[in-house]
Amino acid sequence: MKKFCLGIESTAHTWGVGIVDFKGEVHTLINDTFIPEKGGLHPALVREHHLNNFAKIIDKALLEANLSIKDINLVAFSQSPGLAPVLKIGALVARMLSQILKVPLVGVNHCIAHVEIGRLMCKIEDPLTLYVSGGNTIISAYESNRYQIFGETLDLAVGNMIDSFARDAGLSHPGGPKIEKLALRSKKYIQLPYIVKGMDLSFSGIYTAAKRLIESPDFNNKYNLNDVANSLQETAFAMLTEVTERALAHTEIKEVLLTGGVAANKRLQQMIQYISDEHDARFEVVPLKYAGDNGAMIAWTGILRYLSEGGHEMTETIIKPKERMDNITVPWRLEKKT
């Protein structure tokens, strides 16, 4: 008989529920994403949104998978990293379900889950992963029983930087796809701060400089929004590509995985494809349904951890808003590679 894990994603804007069987087949994935009317993600408003919708989305997921809540054998939830008030809701609902259903509970690191769903969906064994989203910018690969971080942002996540600039330019949330469209209309490059420190990245300088460009008297005179969008993408993506390439050269890994919401961007895909080809590495973009935040990635990673070391005790399921992916061992990879 098939066994099922219900996974809950609740680190930021998305309340996601996924149901995955222990063999890795995804039976459903339902996302309910909070979109702010104006400004960024206010944790209190996101929390309200998730509190109002969690039961409805769980019901919808069960209905779509043609399952009853009693068919669930394992509950997994995003335990780290994320916005504390929002993480708490996922943890609370997951603990409650596990106690009512009397099934084991597993807490999952959101960043590791992005890598694992990518490995599953792209049938990739041992990738170097570039994870670029609204909340994270991380280049990681497996080494010594952990997903080690080779490079990361020192300030803003790249998606957040693009969204913030887009908002300043009067575009609605999420700004990423709109900036991509505008950038396609320009070939002009205006120099912006290119900040790579060692293997780490900083995006706040690009944000400030791009904002100044659209506030300047030269705007719509010497250059327009398409030119700024193009320059912003070219600079930010070249920085990501440089660090990814250096990690590739250092590790000699032969597979590259691009994931997170920003993975949808064709220009970024093109740049990472280029360096992958240069290093004879296979390049895969995680299918977009699974690249953004979702409950299926939490369910699948929960299954992997449960099968290798069992469920977590209730006392181990406290949320960890700042936990890094390289702080956690991934025992399910041990059998394959040491």
Give min distance, CB of 44 to ligand AMP, in A: 19
Give the residues across from 109 on adjacent strands.
Answer: 80
User: What is d(CA 169, CA 173) in angstroms, rounded to the nearest whole number?
Assistant: 11
What is the chain's Cα-based Rg? 20
| Interactions with ligand AMP, residue window 19-78 (CB under 6 A) | none
Closer residue to Mg ion (CB): 10 or 231: 10
Q: Which two tokens stand for residue 263?
A: 């993975």
- Counting contacts by CB under 6 A, is residue 228 touching ligand AMP? no
x/- map, 259-298, Mg ion, by CB under 5 A: ----------------------------------x-----
Q: Which two tokens stand for residue 235?
A: 């600079």
Closer residue to ligand AMP (CB): 167 or 246: 167
Among 78, 133, 160, 276, binds Mg ion (CB under 5 A): 133
Nearest to 262 by CA among 155, 159, 156, 129: 159
Closer residue to ligand AMP (CB): 269 or 308: 269
Bridge-based pairing state of the strands 128-132 and 137-143: antiparallel
Nearest to 158 by CA among 240, 43, 35, 39: 240
Among 135, 151, 295, 302, binds ligand AMP (CB under 6 A): 135
Closer residue to ligand AMP (CB): 204 or 329: 204
Closer residue to ligand AMP (CB): 103 or 161: 161
- Counting contacts by CB under 5 A, is residue 152 touching Mg ion? no
Closer residue to Mg ion (CB): 79 or 186: 79
- Counting contacts by CB under 6 A, is residue 284 touching ligand AMP? no
Query: 153 touches which of ligand AMP, Mg ion, none (CB within 5 to 8 A by kind)?
Result: none
- Counting contacts by CB under 6 A, is residue 195 touching ligand AMP? no
Please tell me the count of residues contacting ligand AMP according to CB under 6 A. 18
254 by Cβ neighbours in 10 Å (0-12 / 13-18 / 19+) ranks as middle
Give min distance, CB of 233 to ligand AMP, in A: 8
Among 90, 107, 118, 260, binds ligand AMP (CB under 6 A): 260
User: What is d(CA 275, CA 280) in angstroms, rounded to the nearest whole number?
Assistant: 9
- Cβ(18)–Cβ(28) below 8 Å: yes
x/- map, 151-180, ligand AMP, by CB under 6 A: --------x--xx----------xxxx--x
Give min distance, CB of 279 to ligand AMP, in A: 24
What's the sign of the alpha-carbon dihedral 107, 112, 114, 115?
negative
Give all strands (DSSP E) within 199-281, no chain letters. Answer: 200-201, 255-259
266 by Cβ neighbours in 10 Å (0-12 / 13-18 / 19+) ranks as exposed
Query: 174 touches which of ligand AMP, Mg ion, none (CB within 5 to 8 A by kind)?
Result: ligand AMP
Sheet containing 26-33: order of strands: 26-33, 14-21, 4-9, 72-80, 105-109
Nearest to 289 by CA among 35, 28, 94, 20: 28
Nearest to 108 by CA among 2, 20, 201: 20
Q: How many Cβ atoms from other residues are within 10 Å of residue 22's Cβ?
A: 17
- Counting contacts by CB under 5 A, is residue 326 touching Mg ion? no
User: What is d(CA 217, CA 226) in angstroms, rounded to the nearest whole number?
Assistant: 16
Among 82, 90, 118, 134, binds ligand AMP (CB under 6 A): 134
Query: 265 touches which of Mg ion, ligand AMP, none (CB within 5 to 8 A by kind)?
Result: ligand AMP
Residues forming contacts to ligand AMP in the complex (CB under 6 A) are 133-135, 159, 162-163, 174-177, 180, 260-262, 264-265, 292-293
Q: Using CB under 5 A as the criterion, which residues of the chain lie in contact with Mg ion when the complex forms?
A: 133, 293
